[in-house]
Amino acid sequence: MPFPAAPAWLGIILSAVSVAAPSLSPLPVVTQPRIYVLDCGTLIYNRPEDYGLTREEVATTNMAVTCYLVVHPKGILLFDTGLSDRLVGRPVWENVLEGYGQVKFNTLRGQLADIGVTPDKITYLALSHSDWDHVDNANDYAGSTWLTQKPEREVMFGPQTTAADRLYYQALEHAKTVIFEGDHDVFGDGSVVLKFTPGHTKGHQSLYVKLAKTGGVVLSGDLYHYPEERTLHRMPKEEEAAGTAASRASMEEFLRKTHSELWIGHSIAFFKDALKSPAWYE
Ligand SMILES: [Zn+2]
Ligand 1 centroid to Cα of residue 19, in Å, is 43
pTM for the full predicted model: 0.91
Of 4-18, 44-58, 132-146, 253-267, the poorest mean pLDDT is in 4-18
> What integer pLDDT is reported at residue 12 of this predicted model?
43
> What integer pLDDT is reported at residue 58 of this predicted model?
98
Ligand 1 centroid to Cα of residue 4, in Å, is 60
Is residue 69 a contact partner of residue 78, using CB atoms and an 8 Å limit? yes
Tell whether 47 is covered by a domain.
yes
Per-residue pLDDT tens over the stretch 232-253: 999 998 998 899 999 999 999 9
Ligand 1 centroid to Cα of residue 2, in Å, is 59
Ligand 1 centroid to Cα of residue 88, in Å, is 19
Number of domains the chain is built from: 1
> What integer pLDDT is reported at residue 241 of this predicted model?
87
Tell whether 237 is covered by a domain.
yes
Tell whether 281 is covered by a domain.
no
Ligand 1 centroid to Cα of residue 117, in Å, is 24
Res. 9 pLDDT band, cuts 50 70 90: very low
> What integer pLDDT is reported at residue 25 of this predicted model?
64
Is residue 155 a contact partner of residue 201, using CB atoms and an 8 Å limit? yes
Q: Is the pLDDT of residue 222 over 60?
A: yes
Per-residue pLDDT tens over the stretch 20-67: 444 456 677 899 999 999 999 999 999 999 999 999 999 999 999 999
Spatial separation of the C-alpha atoms in residues 169 and 146, rounded to whole Å: 11
Tell whether 55 is covered by a domain.
yes
> What integer pLDDT is reported at residue 18 of this predicted model?
42
Residue in 64, 59, 63, 66 with CA at minimum distance from that of residue 81? 66
Give the CATH number of the domain where residue 226 resides.
Answer: 3.60.15.10
Ligand 1 centroid to Cα of residue 14, in Å, is 48
Is residue 33 a contact partner of residue 215, using CB atoms and an 8 Å limit? no
Q: Which domain holds residue 70?
A: 27-273
Ligand 1 centroid to Cα of residue 42, in Å, is 11
Per-residue pLDDT tens over the stretch 76-95: 999 999 999 999 999 999 99
Tell whether 68 is covered by a domain.
yes
Per-residue pLDDT tens over the stretch 102-141: 999 999 999 999 999 999 999 999 999 999 999 999 999 9
Q: In what order do the strands lie in the sheet with 75-79?
A: 96-97, 100-103, 34-44, 63-72, 75-79, 124-126, 145-149, 177-180
> What integer pLDDT is reported at residue 240 of this predicted model?
86
> What integer pLDDT is reported at residue 205 of this predicted model?
98
SS3 label, residue 103: strand
Ligand 1 centroid to Cα of residue 130, in Å, is 9
Tell whether 2 is covered by a domain.
no
Ligand 1 centroid to Cα of residue 222, in Å, is 5
Tell whether 59 is covered by a domain.
yes
Ligand 1 centroid to Cα of residue 263, in Å, is 13
Tell whether 201 is covered by a domain.
yes
Ligand 1 centroid to Cα of residue 151, in Å, is 18
The mean predicted confidence, pLDDT, of the chain is 92
Ligand 1 centroid to Cα of residue 205, in Å, is 12
> What integer pLDDT is reported at residue 28 of this predicted model?
73
